[in-house]
Amino acid sequence: MLKAERLWALGAMSGTSLDGVDAAMVETDGETIFAFGPTAYRGYSAEEQAVLSAALGKWPGEDLEEAQALVERAHLEVLSQFEGAALVGFHGQTLAHEPRGRGTHQLGDGARLAEGLGLPVVWDFRSADIRLGGEGAPLAPFFHFACAKWIGAEEPLAFLNLGGVGNITWLDPRFARPEEPGAILAFDTGPANAPINDLMLARRGEAFDRDGALARQGEVAQGALELFLDEPYFLRMPPKSLDRDTFADMIGLVGELGDADAVATLTGMAAAAILRGMEHCPRPPARLLVTGGGRHNAVMMQMLRAALDCPVEPVEAVGLDGDMLEAQAFAYLAVRVARGLPTSCASTTGVRAAVSGGTISRVEGR
Protein backbone atom coordinates (compact mmCIF):
# COMPACT_ATOMS: atom_id res chain seq x y z
CA MET A 1 0.00 0.00 0.00
CA LEU A 2 1.27 3.44 -0.92
CA LYS A 3 2.37 5.58 2.02
CA ALA A 4 0.87 8.99 2.59
CA GLU A 5 3.02 11.27 0.44
CA ARG A 6 2.43 13.74 -2.34
CA LEU A 7 3.22 12.51 -5.83
CA TRP A 8 2.35 13.16 -9.45
CA ALA A 9 -0.36 10.90 -10.83
CA LEU A 10 -1.57 10.69 -14.41
CA GLY A 11 -5.24 10.07 -15.25
CA ALA A 12 -7.15 9.37 -18.44
CA MET A 13 -10.81 9.51 -19.40
CA SER A 14 -12.66 8.48 -22.54
CA GLY A 15 -16.28 9.44 -22.00
CA THR A 16 -19.59 8.29 -23.43
CA SER A 17 -19.58 11.15 -25.93
CA LEU A 18 -16.87 9.13 -27.76
CA ASP A 19 -14.95 12.24 -28.80
CA GLY A 20 -11.51 11.16 -27.59
CA VAL A 21 -9.16 10.57 -24.66
CA ASP A 22 -8.38 13.29 -22.12
CA ALA A 23 -5.22 12.92 -20.03
CA ALA A 24 -3.99 15.06 -17.14
CA MET A 25 -1.58 15.09 -14.21
CA VAL A 26 -2.37 15.97 -10.61
CA GLU A 27 -0.01 16.31 -7.65
CA THR A 28 -1.77 14.81 -4.64
CA ASP A 29 -1.51 12.50 -1.65
CA GLY A 30 -5.00 11.18 -2.41
CA GLU A 31 -6.59 13.66 -0.01
CA THR A 32 -5.30 17.15 -0.78
CA ILE A 33 -4.75 18.55 -4.27
CA PHE A 34 -1.38 20.31 -4.32
CA ALA A 35 -1.11 21.20 -8.00
CA PHE A 36 -2.52 20.53 -11.44
CA GLY A 37 -0.06 19.56 -14.14
CA PRO A 38 0.11 19.18 -17.91
CA THR A 39 -2.81 17.93 -20.00
CA ALA A 40 -3.25 16.37 -23.44
CA TYR A 41 -6.02 15.21 -25.72
CA ARG A 42 -6.17 12.50 -28.37
CA GLY A 43 -9.29 12.76 -30.49
CA TYR A 44 -11.03 9.85 -32.15
CA SER A 45 -11.44 9.99 -35.93
CA ALA A 46 -14.87 9.45 -37.48
CA GLU A 47 -13.84 5.89 -38.35
CA GLU A 48 -12.70 5.22 -34.77
CA GLN A 49 -15.91 6.68 -33.38
CA ALA A 50 -17.86 4.29 -35.61
CA VAL A 51 -15.93 1.32 -34.17
CA LEU A 52 -16.62 2.43 -30.59
CA SER A 53 -20.25 3.27 -31.31
CA ALA A 54 -20.78 -0.24 -32.70
CA ALA A 55 -19.37 -1.67 -29.45
CA LEU A 56 -21.75 0.24 -27.16
CA GLY A 57 -24.00 -2.06 -25.16
CA LYS A 58 -21.70 -5.06 -25.49
CA TRP A 59 -20.36 -7.14 -22.62
CA PRO A 60 -17.15 -9.16 -22.11
CA GLY A 61 -17.04 -12.19 -24.37
CA GLU A 62 -18.71 -10.45 -27.28
CA ASP A 63 -16.87 -9.38 -30.45
CA LEU A 64 -14.77 -6.53 -29.06
CA GLU A 65 -11.21 -7.18 -30.26
CA GLU A 66 -11.08 -4.20 -32.65
CA ALA A 67 -12.64 -1.78 -30.16
CA GLN A 68 -10.39 -2.93 -27.31
CA ALA A 69 -7.25 -2.59 -29.41
CA LEU A 70 -8.37 0.92 -30.38
CA VAL A 71 -9.05 1.99 -26.80
CA GLU A 72 -5.72 0.68 -25.54
CA ARG A 73 -3.75 2.11 -28.49
CA ALA A 74 -5.33 5.56 -28.13
CA HIS A 75 -4.63 5.66 -24.40
CA LEU A 76 -1.06 4.51 -24.86
CA GLU A 77 -0.47 7.20 -27.48
CA VAL A 78 -1.64 10.06 -25.29
CA LEU A 79 -0.29 8.80 -21.95
CA SER A 80 3.18 8.18 -23.41
CA GLN A 81 3.56 11.94 -23.91
CA PHE A 82 3.89 12.57 -20.15
CA GLU A 83 6.92 12.39 -17.88
CA GLY A 84 7.26 12.26 -14.12
CA ALA A 85 4.15 10.26 -13.19
CA ALA A 86 4.40 7.74 -10.35
CA LEU A 87 1.23 5.88 -11.34
CA VAL A 88 -1.66 6.05 -13.80
CA GLY A 89 -5.44 6.01 -13.36
CA PHE A 90 -7.11 4.31 -16.35
CA HIS A 91 -10.90 4.42 -16.50
CA GLY A 92 -11.35 2.63 -19.82
CA GLN A 93 -14.26 3.06 -22.22
CA THR A 94 -17.70 2.41 -20.74
CA LEU A 95 -19.74 0.24 -23.08
CA ALA A 96 -22.57 -0.92 -20.80
CA HIS A 97 -23.80 -0.09 -17.32
CA GLU A 98 -26.46 -2.14 -15.50
CA PRO A 99 -25.70 -1.85 -11.78
CA ARG A 100 -28.88 -3.74 -10.91
CA GLY A 101 -28.34 -6.31 -13.65
CA ARG A 102 -25.17 -7.50 -15.33
CA GLY A 103 -22.94 -4.92 -13.65
CA THR A 104 -20.74 -2.49 -15.52
CA HIS A 105 -18.32 -2.85 -18.42
CA GLN A 106 -15.35 -0.59 -19.08
CA LEU A 107 -13.34 -1.75 -22.09
CA GLY A 108 -9.55 -1.85 -21.80
CA ASP A 109 -6.93 -3.95 -20.01
CA GLY A 110 -4.95 -1.97 -17.44
CA ALA A 111 -2.31 -4.69 -17.22
CA ARG A 112 -1.43 -4.26 -20.89
CA LEU A 113 -1.35 -0.51 -20.44
CA ALA A 114 1.04 -0.91 -17.49
CA GLU A 115 3.37 -3.00 -19.64
CA GLY A 116 3.31 -0.44 -22.42
CA LEU A 117 3.91 2.54 -20.12
CA GLY A 118 6.28 0.88 -17.66
CA LEU A 119 4.20 2.33 -14.81
CA PRO A 120 1.71 0.90 -12.30
CA VAL A 121 -1.84 1.37 -13.56
CA VAL A 122 -4.98 1.55 -11.41
CA TRP A 123 -8.09 0.46 -13.31
CA ASP A 124 -11.48 -1.30 -13.00
CA PHE A 125 -12.60 1.40 -10.57
CA ARG A 126 -16.31 0.49 -10.53
CA SER A 127 -16.61 -3.28 -9.97
CA ALA A 128 -15.91 -3.35 -6.22
CA ASP A 129 -18.57 -0.72 -5.58
CA ILE A 130 -21.18 -2.72 -7.52
CA ARG A 131 -20.25 -5.95 -5.71
CA LEU A 132 -21.08 -4.16 -2.45
CA GLY A 133 -24.47 -3.03 -3.66
CA GLY A 134 -23.53 0.33 -5.16
CA GLU A 135 -24.38 1.84 -8.52
CA GLY A 136 -20.71 2.05 -9.51
CA ALA A 137 -21.25 5.66 -10.58
CA PRO A 138 -20.66 8.51 -10.45
CA LEU A 139 -17.04 8.25 -9.24
CA ALA A 140 -15.79 11.83 -9.59
CA PRO A 141 -17.56 13.19 -6.43
CA PHE A 142 -14.68 12.54 -4.02
CA PHE A 143 -12.45 14.49 -6.41
CA HIS A 144 -15.05 17.27 -6.58
CA PHE A 145 -14.87 17.44 -2.79
CA ALA A 146 -11.08 17.89 -3.00
CA CYS A 147 -11.57 20.56 -5.68
CA ALA A 148 -13.93 22.47 -3.38
CA LYS A 149 -11.19 22.46 -0.75
CA TRP A 150 -8.63 23.55 -3.36
CA ILE A 151 -10.71 26.60 -4.38
CA GLY A 152 -11.26 27.51 -0.73
CA ALA A 153 -15.04 27.07 -0.75
CA GLU A 154 -16.68 27.74 2.60
CA GLU A 155 -20.34 26.88 1.96
CA PRO A 156 -22.25 24.16 0.11
CA LEU A 157 -21.90 24.13 -3.66
CA ALA A 158 -22.57 21.73 -6.52
CA PHE A 159 -20.59 20.43 -9.48
CA LEU A 160 -22.56 19.51 -12.59
CA ASN A 161 -20.89 17.35 -15.21
CA LEU A 162 -22.48 17.61 -18.65
CA GLY A 163 -21.04 14.71 -20.60
CA GLY A 164 -23.00 12.08 -22.50
CA VAL A 165 -24.94 11.66 -19.23
CA GLY A 166 -25.40 14.43 -16.68
CA ASN A 167 -24.37 13.98 -13.06
CA ILE A 168 -24.35 16.25 -10.06
CA THR A 169 -22.28 16.38 -6.90
CA TRP A 170 -23.66 18.44 -4.03
CA LEU A 171 -21.12 18.90 -1.25
CA ASP A 172 -20.43 20.75 1.97
CA PRO A 173 -16.71 21.66 2.18
CA ARG A 174 -16.96 22.33 5.91
CA PHE A 175 -16.67 18.57 6.48
CA ALA A 176 -13.20 17.08 6.76
CA ARG A 177 -13.74 14.02 4.56
CA PRO A 178 -16.20 13.26 1.76
CA GLU A 179 -17.33 9.95 3.27
CA GLU A 180 -18.64 11.66 6.42
CA PRO A 181 -22.46 11.61 6.70
CA GLY A 182 -23.86 14.85 5.29
CA ALA A 183 -20.72 15.84 3.41
CA ILE A 184 -21.76 14.85 -0.09
CA LEU A 185 -24.59 13.64 -2.32
CA ALA A 186 -24.10 12.55 -5.93
CA PHE A 187 -26.11 10.92 -8.71
CA ASP A 188 -26.80 10.91 -12.45
CA THR A 189 -29.44 13.49 -13.35
CA GLY A 190 -30.36 12.08 -16.76
CA PRO A 191 -29.22 12.22 -20.37
CA ALA A 192 -27.20 15.27 -21.37
CA ASN A 193 -25.12 15.51 -24.55
CA ALA A 194 -25.49 11.92 -25.82
CA PRO A 195 -28.95 12.17 -27.43
CA ILE A 196 -28.18 15.61 -28.86
CA ASN A 197 -24.94 14.31 -30.38
CA ASP A 198 -26.64 11.18 -31.73
CA LEU A 199 -29.37 13.21 -33.42
CA MET A 200 -26.89 15.71 -34.87
CA LEU A 201 -24.85 12.88 -36.34
CA ALA A 202 -27.86 11.03 -37.73
CA ARG A 203 -29.55 14.05 -39.29
CA ARG A 204 -26.71 16.39 -40.17
CA GLY A 205 -23.49 14.37 -40.07
CA GLU A 206 -22.15 16.68 -37.34
CA ALA A 207 -20.69 15.48 -34.05
CA PHE A 208 -22.57 17.93 -31.80
CA ASP A 209 -24.56 21.16 -31.67
CA ARG A 210 -21.70 23.63 -31.43
CA ASP A 211 -22.42 26.32 -28.83
CA GLY A 212 -26.11 25.35 -28.97
CA ALA A 213 -26.41 27.18 -32.29
CA LEU A 214 -29.09 24.90 -33.78
CA ALA A 215 -31.06 24.67 -30.52
CA ARG A 216 -31.19 28.46 -30.44
CA GLN A 217 -33.09 28.43 -33.74
CA GLY A 218 -35.77 26.02 -32.48
CA GLU A 219 -38.52 25.77 -29.87
CA VAL A 220 -39.00 23.15 -27.16
CA ALA A 221 -41.94 20.83 -27.82
CA GLN A 222 -43.70 20.89 -24.46
CA GLY A 223 -45.63 17.67 -25.07
CA ALA A 224 -42.46 15.69 -25.72
CA LEU A 225 -40.84 17.29 -22.68
CA GLU A 226 -43.72 16.28 -20.43
CA LEU A 227 -43.62 12.69 -21.70
CA PHE A 228 -39.89 12.60 -21.00
CA LEU A 229 -40.35 13.82 -17.42
CA ASP A 230 -42.89 11.04 -16.80
CA GLU A 231 -40.04 8.51 -16.87
CA PRO A 232 -39.89 6.56 -13.54
CA TYR A 233 -36.18 7.36 -13.18
CA PHE A 234 -36.99 10.87 -12.04
CA LEU A 235 -39.07 9.55 -9.14
CA ARG A 236 -36.21 7.43 -7.79
CA MET A 237 -34.34 8.86 -4.83
CA PRO A 238 -30.57 9.21 -5.24
CA PRO A 239 -27.99 7.83 -5.36
CA LYS A 240 -28.78 6.48 -8.83
CA SER A 241 -26.99 6.07 -12.14
CA LEU A 242 -27.67 5.59 -15.83
CA ASP A 243 -26.29 3.90 -18.90
CA ARG A 244 -25.58 6.17 -21.86
CA ASP A 245 -28.53 4.71 -23.77
CA THR A 246 -31.06 4.33 -20.93
CA PHE A 247 -33.10 7.12 -22.51
CA ALA A 248 -32.53 6.08 -26.13
CA ASP A 249 -36.23 6.52 -26.88
CA MET A 250 -35.81 10.27 -26.41
CA ILE A 251 -34.94 10.40 -30.10
CA GLY A 252 -38.34 8.89 -30.88
CA LEU A 253 -40.11 11.62 -28.92
CA VAL A 254 -38.68 14.24 -31.29
CA GLY A 255 -38.80 12.11 -34.44
CA GLU A 256 -41.50 14.17 -36.13
CA LEU A 257 -39.87 17.52 -35.35
CA GLY A 258 -37.63 19.53 -37.61
CA ASP A 259 -33.93 19.59 -36.83
CA ALA A 260 -33.89 22.84 -34.85
CA ASP A 261 -36.98 22.03 -32.78
CA ALA A 262 -35.73 18.47 -32.16
CA VAL A 263 -32.37 19.66 -30.87
CA ALA A 264 -33.98 22.44 -28.82
CA THR A 265 -36.31 19.86 -27.25
CA LEU A 266 -33.48 17.42 -26.44
CA THR A 267 -31.56 20.31 -24.89
CA GLY A 268 -34.62 21.26 -22.87
CA MET A 269 -35.00 17.66 -21.71
CA ALA A 270 -31.41 17.59 -20.46
CA ALA A 271 -31.90 20.87 -18.60
CA ALA A 272 -35.23 19.73 -17.13
CA ALA A 273 -33.62 16.53 -15.85
CA ILE A 274 -30.96 18.60 -14.10
CA LEU A 275 -33.58 20.85 -12.52
CA ARG A 276 -35.43 17.80 -11.22
CA GLY A 277 -32.15 16.54 -9.80
CA MET A 278 -31.43 19.82 -8.05
CA GLU A 279 -34.58 19.28 -5.99
CA HIS A 280 -32.75 16.47 -4.18
CA CYS A 281 -29.96 18.72 -2.86
CA PRO A 282 -30.01 18.79 0.98
CA ARG A 283 -29.95 22.57 0.80
CA PRO A 284 -29.61 25.03 -2.09
CA PRO A 285 -25.98 25.33 -3.25
CA ALA A 286 -24.28 28.70 -3.20
CA ARG A 287 -23.23 28.14 -6.81
CA LEU A 288 -23.43 25.52 -9.54
CA LEU A 289 -20.10 24.86 -11.25
CA VAL A 290 -20.45 23.19 -14.65
CA THR A 291 -17.89 20.92 -16.26
CA GLY A 292 -17.89 18.74 -19.38
CA GLY A 293 -18.64 19.61 -22.99
CA GLY A 294 -22.19 20.75 -22.23
CA ARG A 295 -20.93 23.88 -20.51
CA HIS A 296 -20.17 25.24 -23.99
CA ASN A 297 -23.85 24.87 -24.98
CA ALA A 298 -25.07 28.41 -24.44
CA VAL A 299 -28.74 27.40 -24.72
CA MET A 300 -28.49 24.72 -22.06
CA MET A 301 -26.57 27.04 -19.74
CA GLN A 302 -29.18 29.77 -20.23
CA MET A 303 -31.99 27.34 -19.45
CA LEU A 304 -30.30 26.46 -16.16
CA ARG A 305 -29.56 30.08 -15.27
CA ALA A 306 -33.17 31.09 -15.93
CA ALA A 307 -34.55 28.41 -13.62
CA LEU A 308 -32.08 28.37 -10.71
CA ASP A 309 -31.60 30.92 -7.95
CA CYS A 310 -27.85 30.35 -7.64
CA PRO A 311 -25.09 31.40 -10.05
CA VAL A 312 -24.47 28.85 -12.83
CA GLU A 313 -20.85 29.10 -14.00
CA PRO A 314 -18.33 27.01 -15.91
CA VAL A 315 -15.66 25.59 -13.60
CA GLU A 316 -13.13 27.89 -15.25
CA ALA A 317 -14.67 30.64 -13.07
CA VAL A 318 -12.84 29.11 -10.11
CA GLY A 319 -9.63 28.20 -11.95
CA LEU A 320 -10.46 24.59 -12.87
CA ASP A 321 -10.28 22.97 -16.31
CA GLY A 322 -13.70 21.75 -17.44
CA ASP A 323 -12.26 19.75 -20.31
CA MET A 324 -9.89 17.79 -18.08
CA LEU A 325 -11.70 17.49 -14.76
CA GLU A 326 -12.64 13.82 -15.22
CA ALA A 327 -9.14 12.82 -16.33
CA GLN A 328 -7.80 14.65 -13.29
CA ALA A 329 -10.36 12.83 -11.16
CA PHE A 330 -9.00 9.42 -12.13
CA ALA A 331 -5.44 10.54 -11.44
CA TYR A 332 -6.59 11.55 -7.96
CA LEU A 333 -8.65 8.39 -7.44
CA ALA A 334 -5.70 6.22 -8.50
CA VAL A 335 -3.70 7.58 -5.56
CA ARG A 336 -6.62 6.95 -3.20
CA VAL A 337 -6.82 3.35 -4.39
CA ALA A 338 -3.08 2.90 -3.95
CA ARG A 339 -3.38 4.25 -0.40
CA GLY A 340 -6.46 2.15 0.43
CA LEU A 341 -8.65 5.24 0.85
CA PRO A 342 -12.34 5.07 -0.12
CA THR A 343 -13.37 6.17 -3.59
CA SER A 344 -17.14 5.99 -3.05
CA CYS A 345 -19.64 5.84 -0.21
CA ALA A 346 -23.36 5.37 0.45
CA SER A 347 -24.27 8.94 -0.53
CA THR A 348 -22.44 8.85 -3.88
CA THR A 349 -23.28 5.40 -5.25
CA GLY A 350 -25.51 3.74 -2.65
CA VAL A 351 -22.76 1.27 -1.73
CA ARG A 352 -23.31 -0.41 1.67
CA ALA A 353 -20.07 0.96 3.14
CA ALA A 354 -17.32 3.31 1.98
CA VAL A 355 -15.18 1.29 -0.41
CA SER A 356 -11.85 1.67 -2.19
CA GLY A 357 -12.39 0.30 -5.69
CA GLY A 358 -9.84 -0.46 -8.36
CA THR A 359 -7.26 -3.02 -9.44
CA ILE A 360 -3.57 -2.18 -9.46
CA SER A 361 -1.43 -3.67 -12.25
CA ARG A 362 2.27 -3.27 -11.55
CA VAL A 363 5.36 -3.74 -13.68
CA GLU A 364 8.64 -5.20 -12.50
CA GLY A 365 10.51 -2.81 -10.27
CA ARG A 366 7.61 -0.32 -9.91
pTM of the model: 0.94
Residue 17: per-residue pLDDT: 78
What are the CA-CA distances from residue 305 to residues 32, 126, 168, 272 (Å)?
31, 33, 16, 12
Residue 311: per-residue pLDDT: 98
Torsion angles phi and psi, residue 118, rounded to 5: 70, 25
Residue 353: per-residue pLDDT: 92
What fold is seen in the domain 152-318? Answer: Nucleotidyltransferase; domain 5 (3.30.420)
The β-bridge partners of 107 are: 93
Residue 365: per-residue pLDDT: 62
Residue 5: per-residue pLDDT: 87
Check residue 308 and give left, alpha or beta (phi > 0: left; psi -120 to 50: alpha).
Answer: beta
- Please report the DSSP string for 222-240 in residue order: HHHHHHHHTSGGGGSPSS-
Same topology, domains 7-134+324-361 and 152-318? Answer is: yes
Domain layout of the chain by residue ranges: 7-134+324-361, 152-318
Residue 243: per-residue pLDDT: 75
Amino acid in position 182: G
Residue 1: per-residue pLDDT: 66
Residue 366: per-residue pLDDT: 67
For 68-97, how does the pLDDT look when each residue is reduced to its tens digit (9 = 90+)?
A: 999 999 999 999 999 999 999 999 999 998
What fold is seen in the domain 7-134+324-361? Answer: Nucleotidyltransferase; domain 5 (3.30.420)
The β-bridge partners of 12 are: 23, 90
pLDDT below 50 — which residues of the chain? Answer: none
What are the CA-CA distances from residue 304 to residues 18, 77, 114, 199, 218 (Å)?
25, 37, 42, 22, 17
